[in-house]
Structure 1
Amino acid sequence: MVTLGTASAAPGEMDTGRLAVGETRDGSPVRLPVAVVNGAADGKTLYMQAASDGDELNGVGVIQRVLPRLDPTELSGTLLVCGIVNYHAFQVAEHRNPVDDTKMNRAYPGDANGTSSERIAAATYDAAVGADLVLDLHQGSTSRMIDEVRVRCGTRHRLHSECLELAKVFGCGYILDQKGPDGQLARAAPDEGVPTVDPELGGCVGWDETSIQKGVDGVFNVLTYYDFLDGRYSPRAQTRATGFEQYGSPAGGLVDFHVDLGDRVSRGETLFEITDVFGQSKAEITADSDGVFWRSRRLPQVATGEYVCSVGTNLDTY
């Protein structure tokens, strides 16, 4: 029998339930939606979670589509799933937990006796580090961005090769291989010996069906490659960036992009232009390095110094 919160499944069974992580301001229980898919045969354990940032919904869409397609009688090993991590932020469609104004993916490994976010992080971290592999499903929130997988442990980490392998297998097409900030699940779990990656499934407000489908395909790639499911895994080329350059606006106005997401750009190539409301050019910004146009703001209006876009650099292909 495998248990996560109130979800409990014998071999060949699946169950859903709730994981208690505290109470709301009126004393009502806060319980995260969880699932256990316990395969009929022995194998690895995969932990998967979504919406640790409350407005990043594509990961929820992935879980919603993957779970109904799984037959535990045909599965080897176990899936542990938390469908919504940042309970409070999800309720109000905000990025940060409004109870303590915290970005959940900066709170790991958490504290069972700490703040609201630390308690949620601790409960989900316990499930994660008990697994063999972890997928922490994210999204670019309100930015526009390519579908990518982030390896956040750092290239010198003892588990780097295992994390990079997991990212390649997920197979979004692009990998950002750069050490992440403290408090990220994909930073903390490898320290406990668990390969963990952070798929960033596009960027939008609401659902992005194309990115959700890439996430679904990625999960099934992982399930097939790591022998949870029978089948043939077909690798595809992945472009890895180990650098990431961000560009702000030198002036206020409206952004006119000269390149599209996923385009290869060359050093000195124009990335975007800033114009006034009458269409007169105020500034033209060029790339500092060769790379891939990775991420950009969604709305055109910017103030001086405000974020505009990012370019992935130091590229190689696998």
Structure 2
Amino acid sequence: MTSLGTASAAPGEIDTGRLWVGETRDGTDIGLPVAVVNGAESGKTLYVQAASDGDELNGVGVIQRWLPELDPDAISGTILVTGIVNYHAFQVAEHRNPVDDTKMNRVYPGDEEGTSSERIAAATFEAATRADLAVDLHQGSTSRMINEVRVRCGRRHRRHQSCLELAKVFDCGHVLDQKGPDGQLARAAPDEGVPTIDPELGGCVGWDEQSIEYGRRGLWNVLKYYDFVEADAALSTQTRAGGFDQYGAPAGGLVDFEFDLGERVERGETLFSITDVFGRVKETVTADSEGIFWRTRRLPQVATGEYVCSVGTNIDSY
């Protein structure tokens, strides 16, 4: 019997339940939706979670579509799932936990006696570190972004190659291989020996079906490659970026982009221009280095100094 919160499944079974993490202001219990898929045969353990940021919903869409496809009789090993991590932010469609104004993916490994976010992080971190592999489903918030996977442990980490392999298996086509901020699950779990990746499934308001399909297919690739199911997983060459150049607006106005997401950018090429409402160009911004047009703001209007776009740099293939 394998349990996560109130979900408990014998070999060959699936069960869903709640992982209790505290109470609301009226004393109502807070339970994160969790699932256990206990394969008929023994094997590795995979942990998957979504909605660490409450407005990043593509990961929830992935789990909604992927979990019903799983047949525990055809699985070797165990799959642990937390369908919604940032419970409070999800309820109000916000990025940060409104109870303590905290970004959840900055407080791992958490504290079971700490703030609201720290308690949730501690509970989900305990689940993640029971696994052999972990996948933390994200998206680029509500901005526009390519589908990519992030390896956040840093290139000198002892689990770096294992994390990089997992990112390649997930196969979004693009990988950001850059050490992440303290408090990310994909930073903290490798310290406990668990290869962990952070797929960033596009960026949208609500959810995007193409990005959800990337995530659903990626999780199936993981199951195939790591022998949870009997099937072959073909590995594709990934385009890897080692960092970002970020660009802000040198003037206020309306942004016109010269590139589409995923296109190759050469140093000195114009990335975007800013016009006034009558179409007169006020400023143009060029690329500082070659790379890939990775992410942009969603709305065209900008004030001076506002974020506009990012270019992935230090590009190679692996």
How does the TM-score come out when normalised to structure 1?
0.99
CA offset digits 1:158-206 (Å, max 9, x no partner): 1100000000000000000000000000000000000000000000000
Partners of 1:130 and 1:94 lie apart in 2 by 29
In the TM superposition, 1:83-94 aligns within 5 A as: 83-94=83-94
Q: Does 1:232 align with 2:271?
A: no
Partners of 2:217 and 2:237 lie apart in 1 by 15
Who is 2:309 aligned against? 309
In the TM superposition, 1:176-255 aligns within 5 A as: 176-255=176-255
- How many equivalent residue pairs? 318
CA RMSD of aligned residues (A): 0.5
Q: Does 1:99 align with 2:99?
A: yes
SS of residue in 2 equivalent to 1:136 = strand
Give the aligned residue type for 1:193.
Answer: G
Sequence identity of aligned pairs in percent? 78
Partners of 1:66 and 1:72 lie apart in 2 by 13
Who is 1:172 aligned against? 172
Partners of 2:117 and 2:87 lie apart in 1 by 9
Q: CA deviation at 1:237?
A: 1.9
SS of residue in 2 equivalent to 1:219 = helix
Give the aligned residue type for 1:18.
Answer: R
Q: CA deviation at 1:207?
A: 1.1
Who is 1:62 aligned against? 62
Partners of 1:87 and 1:107 lie apart in 2 by 15
SS of residue in 2 equivalent to 1:240 = strand
Q: Does 1:6 align with 2:6?
A: yes
Give the aligned residue type for 2:169.
Answer: V
Partners of 1:254 and 1:178 lie apart in 2 by 31
Q: Detail structure 1 runs of 4+ shifted over 2 Å in the superposition.
A: none
CA offset digits 1:271-292 (Å, max 9, x no partner): 0001011111011001001100
Partners of 1:237 and 1:295 lie apart in 2 by 21
SS of residue in 2 equivalent to 1:80 = strand
In the TM superposition, 1:67-82 aligns within 5 A as: 67-82=67-82
How does the TM-score come out when normalised to structure 2?
0.99
Partners of 2:71 and 2:282 lie apart in 1 by 58
Q: Tell me, which stretches of 5 or more residues in structure 1 are unaligned?
A: none
Partners of 1:234 and 1:70 lie apart in 2 by 20
Who is 1:125 aligned against? 125
